[in-house]
Amino acid sequence: MRTVDLFDNYLEGKLNAQELAAFELRASSDPVFQKAFEEHKTLVGILNASNERQVLKNKLKHIHSVEFGKEAKIISINKPEKLTKRIGKTFMVAASAAVIAVISTIALLSTGGYLLEKQDIKITDLGLEVAGLKSSQNAIVRKLNSKEDKPFAAANLEGSAFALNNSGYVITSWHMVNGADSIFIQNSTTERALTKIIFNDPALDIAVLKIENEEVSKAWQVPFTFNAKSAEVGEEVYTLGYPRQDVVYGEGSLSSLSGYSNDTAMYQVSIPVNPGNSGGPVLDSQGNIIGVIRGKLTTAEGTGFAVKSTQIIRSINSVEGETVKSELILNNTKSSLKKLKRSEQIKRINPYVFNVLVYKNN
């Protein structure tokens, strides 16, 4: 038997009385043996301790999520209401977002006697609403249209969206366009275009908009497809969105196959996302859409959540009503981005990622 095995047997209490006596005698008379044993014991002790700590940690995490689990909440990543001009906007947006985050935590803390109030962000109604929701042309919008050379009034909310297919349909976050009077999209190649809501799934927090003027999408050739398969943890992913006036690229990796509060309809991504990223696409390295940015954790930076493409496909395919169904087709031409460099991919994708401007009447 090797000395190391002897050490193991001693530590596990497997030695009989005679062996034990021999062991102890040697340990007390042979300093090299003793030192080697001490080292062995230390190392094995650490391995055991690490395991015990891990087991306990998991237990505590579980207790925490059962007892206090819903305290952390997702904030929607649309921009806060804004009263400033474009100039200085980035700063203002960043500043106001910070203020909102701080206030919400403190506000919650003070209401619950420092216990963060349980927040349930899940939308309970899982029913799909298929409707041409009214996008009434309110006064502001009419004024805007009539004076096209004048700068536009600031939108109440801004976010991101991207093309669903070649027929002028775009997808975005429902929380952004919910309750809107009018919704415009724009980017560097597409001028401000009015859209209406065609479809929404509040449970997934997605909405599909259609550009009213069919001329706008006439030459569209959407380069990406929706990935019908689940993405893998660790995959490189990136997003394009409009946290400010210009499109902004952000990259990271897929951190988890479930999102906030273990929601399996979402992915967790380590992409730094900011107000304005909501509704933007999450793409894999081959340029397939794997999700739509939905929100991020208020309590941790770099923890974004995206609605899975597989869920979106399921949701959109479940739409009833022939007219809507015939139009609501996800782009299924083969992705033409697969072999392109990232920068080339982005060049091709950019025309199909939009800044969404939402106007509310009150």
Partner 1 sequence: MLKPKVNFTDNDFVEGLKVGDDLVLKALYKKYYNLVLKLVVSNNGSSEAAQDVYQETIIILYEKCQDPEFKLSCQLQTYVYSVARNLWLKHLKKHGKTGELKEYHQDVFEDASSDTKTHLKKEESIDKVFKSLEELGEPCASLIKDFYIKKMNMEEISEKFGYTNADNAKNQKYKCLQRLKRLYFDNFTIVD
Q: Which is nearer to partner 1, 31 or 151 (CB)?
A: 31
DSSP 132: -
Contact with partner 1 (CB under 8 A): which of 25, 49, 107, 131?
49
First to last CA, the chain: 83
Cα–Cα distance for residue pair 271/239, rounded to 1 Å: 8
| Segment holding 129, helix H or strand E | strand 129-130
Instruction: State yes or no: residue 14 binds partner 1 (CB under 8 A).
Output: no
Does residue 67 interact with partner 1 by CB under 8 A? yes
116 contacts partner 1 (rule: CB under 8 A): yes
Under the criterion CB under 8 A, does residue 51 sit at the interface with partner 1?
yes
x/- mask, partner 1, residues 240-279, rule CB under 8 A, reads ----------------------------------------
Segment near partner 1 (CB under 8 A); pick from 105-113, 161-169, 199-207, 246-254: 105-113
Segment contacting partner 1 by CB under 8 A, of 2-10, 76-84, 168-176, 182-190: 2-10
Site string (174-203) toward partner 1, x via CB under 8 A: ------------------------------
Query: Which of these, 161, 226, 172, 218, lies nearest to 199 by C-alpha position?
Result: 172
CB of 62 to partner 1, least distance (A): 9
Which lies closer to partner 1 via its Cβ, residue 66 or residue 139? 66
- Binding segment for partner 1 (CB under 8 A), chosen from 52-60, 133-141, 267-275, 320-328, is 52-60
**Under a CB-based contact definition with an 8 Å cutoff, are residues 256 and 241 in contact?**
no
Question: Looking at beta carbons only, is 52 or 191 nearer to partner 1?
Answer: 52
Count of residues engaged in binding partner 1, rule: CB under 8 A: 38
Residue whose token pair is 């597409």: 190
| Using rule CB under 8 A, residue 114 touches partner 1 | yes
The single-letter code of the amino acid at 58 is N
Residues 199, 201, 203: CA angle, nearest 5 degrees = 170
Do residues 128 and 328 touch, judged by C-beta distance below 8 A?
no
For partner 1, the binding residue among 21, 25, 46, 153 (CB under 8 A) is 46
> What 8-state DSSP symbol labels residue 260?
G
Lay out the site mask for partner 1 across 15-44 (x = CB under 8 A, - = otherwise).
-----------------xx-xx--xx--xx
Q: How far is the CB of 51 from partner 1 (least distance, A)?
A: 5
Q: Decide: is 53 part of the binding site for partner 1 (CB under 8 A).
A: yes
Q: Rounded to whole angstroms, what are the CA distances from 177 to 36, 104, 180, 355?
A: 69, 22, 5, 13
Tokens read off for 77: 């990543």
Please identify which residue in 25, 68, 333, 347 interacts with partner 1, judged by CB under 8 A.
Answer: 68
Q: Are residues 178 and 360 in contact, defined by beta-carbon separation less than 8 angstroms? A: no
DSSP 8-state code for residue 257: S
**∠ CA 248-287-292 to the nearest 5 degrees?**
60
Residues 6+ apart with CB under 8 A from 207: 171, 172, 173, 174, 176, 177, 178, 197, 199, 200, 201
What minimum distance in Å lies between the beta carbon of 303 and partner 1? Answer: 10
Binding site for partner 1 (CB under 8 A): 2-5, 32-33, 35-36, 39-40, 43-44, 46-51, 53, 56-57, 59-61, 63-64, 67-68, 71-72, 105, 109, 113-116, 299-300
